[in-house]
Amino acid sequence: MNILAEIIAHKRAELAEWKQARSVEMLRAVQVAPPPPFAAALRAAPIGLIAEAKRRSPSAGAIREPFDPAAIAAAYARAGAQAMSVLMDRRYFAGGEEAFRAVRASVSLPLLYKEFVVDPWQVWHARALGASAVLLIAAALDDRELAALLTECRAAGLEVLLEVHDETEMRRAAASGAECIGVNNRDLRTFTVDLGTTERLKTLAPTRCTLVSESGIRTAADVLRLQAAGVQAVLVGEHLLRQPDLERAVRELMGLAWEGES
């Protein structure tokens, strides 16, 4: 069993408990204000930044200690990030609802509910927390499940970032009608990272989709390379979170790309 399959199996077990505590009907009944647009915010910059709040990961271990999601969010917002991604998984990433609520209370940026979403309950949970978008992972869903969750997200008024890793998944994403697609540069089998994955899959992406490059983005040169390839946004977590000064780290990473078309 690879790490994704292991996480998904555990997620389904967690969901059984969560549904007993709060039904999907209870989540649907939560009154929330319309969230700020996600993809439009990314496209408003020369290249958008989705800055991530992530305490740890299975591949990297502990990333930032102490971990203060509200302070992290405020620093990202001051530095000019267009959106934020907040990890929800507790067992493998030390995330959760508390972190998401802290970020939502700290900033008005569009927020991505970054979770291993396999059930409509999670879509309505994201809406109740004030998310603008939900991550769906093509590798974790078959075509029927993907179509059903895309429909559920539309019903909830949420945008979707559909993550792909290879050509087969990109073709599935294009066929699904997804308007915002994220290319994960990390090979799920080997954990190796190659920015060339985004450049390769870009040729198969729908012309009008918002394309996001994820994983392995560490330098201003990386951002400029992806910008030149026609990517609309980057998602960066580990590199930024390992820096002591988050505002400075964002500006050093994104400054040349943002200034280049200002």
DSSP 191-210: --B-THHHHHHHTTS-TTSE
Spell out the domains of the chain, with CATH numbers in brackets. Answer: 3-260 (3.20.20.70)
Is 11 annotated in the active site?
no
What pTM was computed for the model?
Answer: 0.96
Give the pLDDT of residue 1.
Answer: 54
- Annotated active-site residue in 11, 52, 57, 199: 52
Amino acid residing at 132: S
Residue ranges of the chain with per-residue pLDDT less than 70:
1, 260-262
Q: Is 214 annotated as catalytic? A: yes
184 is catalytic: yes
CA angle 58, 60, 66 (to 5 degrees): 100
Q: Is 13 exposed, middle or buried (0-12, 13-18, 19+ CB in 10 A)?
A: exposed
Give the list of residues 6+ apart from residue 14 with CB closer than 8 angstroms, or none: 91
pLDDT of 191 reads 77
Amino acid 262: pLDDT = 44
Specify the pLDDT at position 261: 52
114 is catalytic: yes
178, 162 Cβ separation under 8 angstroms:
yes
Say if CB 176 and CB 141 are below 8 A apart: no
Sign (positive/negative) of CA torsion 126, 132, 138, 142?
Answer: positive
Catalytic annotation present for 238: no
